[in-house]
Each structure stands twice: as C-alpha cells, then as structure tokens.
Chains A and B, each alone.
Chain A
Amino acid sequence: MRRVLVVGGFFLVLLAIWQAATMSGRWSPVLLPPPGNVFEYLSGALHNGSLVESSLVTVQRLLIGYAIGVAIGLPLGLMTSTSPILQATIGTVALGLQTLPSVCWIPLALLWFGQSEEAVLFVVIMGTVWSVVIATDAGARSISPIYSRAARTMGAEGLDKWTHVILPASLPSVVSGMKQGWAFAWRSLMAAEIYVTVLTGFGLGHLLHYGRELNAMDQVIGVMFVIVVIGLLADKILFSPWERFLHRRWGTGRL
C-alpha cells in the first residue's frame, strides 16, 4: 500500500513538473503540449479505435518476428556453445551483427523486400536473432560440467541430454537472453515501422511517424507513452512468471 502511494506520488510529481513547464510559457505549446492535450489525444484515439488497431498490428508483428528470431537464435546459440569451430564462425558473425544497430538493416530490407510486411519482419528478426544467439551461448557455456557428467552416467546422451539437461540448466541465462532479445525486437520493430511505409497494416511506429509529419506533438508523445506501456506490460506478462519460477527452483533472488 505504502509502495503504491510512493509510486503514484512520484508520477504525479512528474506530471506536475510537466504541467508547470508548459504553463511557464517558455516553450511553444506546439512543441511541448500540456499533459491534458496528450490525454485528450489518447482518449480520442482509443474511442475511434485507431490506437487499439495500431497496437494490435504492432504487437502481432512483434510476436511473429520475435518468435522466429528466438526459434533461430536458441538452437544456434546452443550449437555455438558446444563446438569451437561453430563458435569461431557463427559466433563471430553473431557478435559482429549484434553490434550493428537494427536501423542499419532497413535500407537492405527495403531493397530486398520492398515496402512490405516481409521487410518489417526481416528487420525485427535480424534485431532479435544475434542477441539471443549470444545470450544462449554464454548461458550454455556457464553451466557446470558436472550436470552433463551426471546425466551421462544416468544414460542421458545426445538429444536427450540436450533437451533434459543442458537446456534446463541454462534456462536462467536463456530467459535473460530472451528478455534481451525481446528488447531488441521491440526497438527494431519501431525503427522499421517508422522508416518502412506499408499499406498492409498501420502500426504504432506509423502513428508516430505521421504525428511528426502533421506536427501533432500530442500524438507523438501519446504514442510514445503507449509504446512504453506495451513494453512494460510485455515484461510483466511474458517474463515475470518465468523469473519467479526460476527463483523458486534455483533458490536465487528474494523469496
């Protein structure tokens, strides 16, 4: 209860500072609209359905791109962790491409796929895969060799050992890798939606982009707010249950 009050108070203070800044008259209301205007835009966009529709389009792209990214990155990461040759080849590629900001994939995606859904997905996947590969690789590498030895004496070899021992043993690092991958997917998607105009679906990034074109600052800030909220919700819904499970089983973190 106390915590709720403190957190609520904190955000009220932030809003008050914002309100005071707009009322000081130092900045043009076109560039810095008061909180009320942003709220008006948000409730209007919620009522006419454009915000919900864009959010759904965006989240759908995100989930598909992320799922493909993880489906590629997870096995690749497990593979590079076992073989020095794969580590030196695929591992190096992953490390290099991970440092490449995902916006840099957009020109290539546009030329290869045109202004299409595929171009957006491609950017999201490229933004996700490499960080998942690296996190999974590091995770699988950090597990104690004793687990593998114990498993082998109990008759678990090959694929059985991988799915029932190596993968669960590296779960804590895999989950944090997937979380990192999620953050990268989200960033890549926003970059893609801002730069790739597609007619098949109007996402949050597009709303943001047109807010700029129309000089509608209340829309720009409102959409940014929604993007933050979706990111927070995803963290709570997708990852918190996993993290609680891990803490309970491994006995790590607070109880």
Chain B
Amino acid sequence: MMSDHLDFKAATPAKLSVEGVSISFHSTRTSVHALQDVTLQVKGGEFVSLVGPSGCGKTTLLDIIAGLTRPDKGRVLADDHEVEGPGRHRMVMFQEPALFPWLDVMGNVTFGLKRKPGLSRRERHQIADYHLDLVGLRKFKRAYVHELSGGMKQRVALARALAPDPQVLLMDEPFSALDALTREQLYDDIQRIWQGRRKTIVLVTHNVREAICLSDRVVLMSPSPGRIREEYIISLPRPRDINSPELATIAQTITATLKGYIPESVE
C-alpha cells in the first residue's frame, strides 16, 4: 500500500556485540553489582529477548547498548563501532511511551527525523505518514498526546522509534503497562512490521510468553550479580500466537529454569 509510492530502502540491521560488560551502582550505604562480565552476540536482524527476575540488570544492559549508560568495564560494538553515546542508529522504546506532550502525534514522530540529515520537510512527513500507517494511527496525526489511549501512545512511540530507520531497536518492557488485549494486538503488529522491515531488536521483558512469541532467541539472566545464564533458541513458525499450546510448553520450561535463579526465601 503506502510502500508502493514511498520506496525507501531500510537500513541494514546492525550486529551487536557486548564484550565483558560490568557495572556497579554505589550509594552511600550499599554497592550493587548490577552486571558482571556480560558477553552477548546479536546477529544483524535478529530478535533477542532478555528475560530475568527483577534486579538481574536487564534494563541496565539495554541502557548500555543504547549508550545511555557507560559500563565500568567492557564495551559494546554495533557493526564493529564502539558505542560511546546514544544515537539514532539505536532507537529505544521505553516502558512509558515518553511522548512529548507539547507536540502533536506528527510532531513526535518527526522529532527524530528532523535530526537526521538530508531530509526535506516533505520527505519527513511522507516517512512519518508511512510509519503512522504501519501502526494504524494516521488518522490521529493531529491529535495531542493526552487524547490517546495507553496502547495508542505506545504505537506512536513505536512509529517514532522506527521512523528514523534505525539499525537497532531496543525495547524496555514497552508492553508491561498495557492491558492483555492491547498487548496481543501489538505483538501482531510488531511481528508484521519486523518481517517487513528487518531490524536488530533487543527486548527486555519479564513476560516469558511475550519473549517466546516475539524472539528468535531468549536470553535468561539472574541477579546479584547480574549475568547471563542460559539461552533458548525459539524456532516456532511465524507469525506466532501467544496463546498457542506449543508456545505454552516452552514457556513452562523457561519459567521453571527462571525460578531456580530467584534467591531462596527464608522458609
């Protein structure tokens, strides 16, 4: 449909390489070893989920890949270039939509595009329209942020993240605040969009079924200190249905493994 008259090539998805990353957080009372010697390879165009109990450092790892946080030790390479700060080649979707209330939907989606060199105003609007179509919100391009529902806000955030055509999309529990139906609709959208325009995607979630539904590979992490423990390759055919029995079986195995990581409670 839209792609017929808007023929722009998607950027080649970047491969990511996390090499021996460690980081601790210090406060006056305690010091937390958030990540210890984490190494992870993600192939270009691969969809990887980071799953683990709270405190395992999965969000911190995502921040480090984004360049929003600098590690104490180790480094992150995106296509063999060291990540030294945030940038539009690695866009982030946060847990909150983080849309700007002083801009309308169009203004939010074109925000990143304005900072991408070499685009005319017309091109920016075409690209934004195309991505608003992808998430089914073109009608709402003149709406203000507070007029949208939670699910619509996250869709706009997805369009905003995809519009500058990043090589990597990083998602930090973007579905956790949504109701189940809206969430399942978004899983379908993400799968459809990802099959059409390949990106390297890293998703942080605590929802095992969500991770299995979307990813090629699920990486399990455990807390104190935060590190990577196991990986599961998911080879179910796509598009996947989060309610399918095959998916539930895998989820059972992974959940059992995860439970073993939670520090023993005093009984």
Contact = CB atoms under 8 A, between A and B. Distances in A.
B267 interface: no
Contact of B147 (A146, A152, A251): A251
A155 B112 contact: yes
A165 B86 contact: no
A89 B6 CA distance: 55
A155 B87 contact: yes
A168 interface: yes
A153 interface: yes
A168 B112 contact: no
Interface of chain A: mostly helix, strand, loop or mixed: helix
A164 B112 CA distance: 12
A40 interface: no
A147 interface: yes
A151 B112 CA distance: 8
A118 B94 CA distance: 52
Contacts of B138: none
A114 B69 CA distance: 56
B94 A171 contact: no
Contact-size category for A = 20 to 34
B102 A169 contact: yes
B102 A249 contact: yes
B102 A156 contact: no
A153 B88 contact: yes
A171 B68 CA distance: 25
Interface of A: 144, 146-147, 149-157, 160, 164-165, 168-169, 171, 248-251
Contacts of A164: 111
A158 to B, nearest CB: 12
A161 B67 CA distance: 16
Nearest to A245: B102
B140 interface: no
Contact-size category for B = 20 to 34
B98 A155 contact: no
A147 B98 contact: yes
B209 to A, nearest CB: 27
B144 A251 contact: yes
Interface of B: 66-68, 85-88, 90-92, 94, 96, 98, 100-102, 111-112, 115-116, 144-147, 160, 164
B266 to A, nearest CB: 36
Given A152-B86, A165-B100, A251 B146 contact: yes
Given A153-B88, A251-B146, A251-B147, A146 B96 contact: yes
Given A153-B86, A153-B90, A156-B111, 20 more contacts: A144-B96, A147-B100, A150-B92, A150-B94, A150-B100, A151-B111, A152-B85, A152-B86, A153-B67, A155-B86, A155-B87, A155-B88, A155-B164, A164-B111, A165-B100, A168-B100, A169-B100, A251-B144, A251-B145, A251-B146
A164 B116 CA distance: 15
B98 A154 contact: no
Nearest to A164: B111
B115 A160 contact: yes
A164 B164 CA distance: 18
A30 to B, nearest CB: 56
A7 B140 CA distance: 41
B93 to A, nearest CB: 9
Contacts of A144: 96, 98
B265 to A, nearest CB: 33
Contact of A149 (B68, B101, B145, B164): B68
A150 B101 contact: no
Contacts of B67: 153
Contacts of A146: 94, 96, 98
B115 A168 contact: no
Ranked nearest first, the 6 interchain pairs of A and B with the lowest CB-CB distance are A251-B146, A154-B112, A155-B115, A150-B98, A168-B102, A155-B88
From A147, A152, A155, A251, residue with most partner B Cβ within 10 Å: A155
A65 to B, nearest CB: 29
Given A146-B94, A146-B96, A153 B87 contact: yes
Contacts of B92: 149-150, 153
Contacts of A171: 102
A160 B115 CA distance: 10
A211 B116 CA distance: 64
A56 B144 CA distance: 40
A154 B101 CA distance: 16
